[in-house]
Amino acid sequence: MRDLVLGLDIGGTSSRAQVGDLSGRLVGSGDAGGGNPNSHPPEDAVAQVTAAARAALGDLDGSAVGSAVLGMAGVSAMTDPRVAGLFEQGWNSLGLHCPVRIVSDCEVAFAAGTAAGAGTVLIAGTGAIAARIEGHREVASAGGHGWLLGDEGSAFWLGREAVRHALRTLDTGTAPEGLARAVLVTALDGEPGDEPVRVRKQLITAVNGAPPIRLAELAPLVTAACADGNPAGADIVGRAAVELAGTAVRAGGSGPVVLAGGLTAEGNPVGTALRAELGARLPGTPLHLAGPGAAGAAWLAALDLTPDAPRYPGI
């Protein structure tokens, strides 16, 4: 009897899988490395995704899975016949006989935060995107334009603003302290010199010579500075919250707002400021933090089999 479901939450750094039954019981879970074919060679991505699914299945026969949902950013990659073919081989290796429905990471994140069928989800991590959900499906989105064109309020944006703050400090000839100094020590991999003109050039060269995504690694410096009461850190965090809230509002729609991604977590200054900003802009709107994405994907898979599927633990 095919009464099991498989949920997959696939990212650039990790792949997570959960197997559950139609009673809401979690049967197994598994983790592996990054499996998004947008950021990894397709063969490597398939290997990681199937490894996570195989770990979740354990000794279970894949043919017992009656429904499967995979959530990931950039689902258009799966329309490439070669990529789709490689993933089909992966499903066959697991013994899956059911179709694997591919959905956006926004749909999975929303399902991981609320049982409501409609509302808004905002994901704020390395990048930032919001989506309007209706009938558990994404119908519109805002943001998610990537590091060059947008992703305001994301970890990339926080890092870039931190570097700009350090450069403005050096432009004035002021000795860098607080956040500016932390940026220089991290970006230059050591203590900066005491010549602002030379240090300024070194910082520009180091940042422009590194992959743009490396800017996201500076985001923790901003949140730590904010937590320590540093005015520059607090200013950047406050502006990030305004940008992220604006992205969520642009996505439109009514219903609850689900927050997902590392920047929205409890204890993160950006998340704290964001909840306050959303509370002011959308008074009375329920705010939920997303649980495990793989559990949200498994629940969506269960809904494909029965409209009364119970929620899984953690969501």
- Write out pLDDT tens, residues 210-224: 988 889 999 999 999
* pLDDT number for residue 146: 84
Specify the DSSP class assigned to residue 98.
Answer: S
Given a cut of 90, whether residue 196 has pLDDT beyond it is: no
Given a cut of 60, whether residue 176 has pLDDT beyond it is: yes
238, 216, 244: which is closest to 152 by C-alpha? 244
Domain ranges of the chain: 4-112+292-305, 117-289
pLDDT digits (tens, 9 = 90+) for 49-108: 999 999 999 999 999 999 999 999 888 889 999 999 999 999 999 999 999 999 999 999
Residue 34 exposed, middle or buried by CB count within 10 Å (0-12, 13-18, 19+):
middle
Arithmetic mean of pLDDT, 261-272:
95
CATH number, domain 117-289: 3.30.420.40
Q: Tell which phi-psi region holds residue 8, choosing left (phi > 0), alpha (psi between -120 and 50) or beta.
A: beta
**Contact 26/20 with Cβ under 8 angstroms?**
yes
Q: Tell which phi-psi region holds residue 153, choosing left (phi > 0), alpha (psi between -120 and 50) or beta.
A: left
CB hemisphere CA count around 40 (13 angstroms): 21
How is the chain split among helix, strand and coil, in percent rounded to 5? 50, 20, 30
Task: Calculate what percentage of the chain has a pLDDT beyond 70.
Answer: 99
Is domain 4-112+292-305 annotated with CATH 3.40.50.300? no
- 4-112+292-305 and 117-289 agree in CATH topology: yes
Given a cut of 60, whether residue 112 has pLDDT beyond it is: yes
* pLDDT number for residue 1: 55
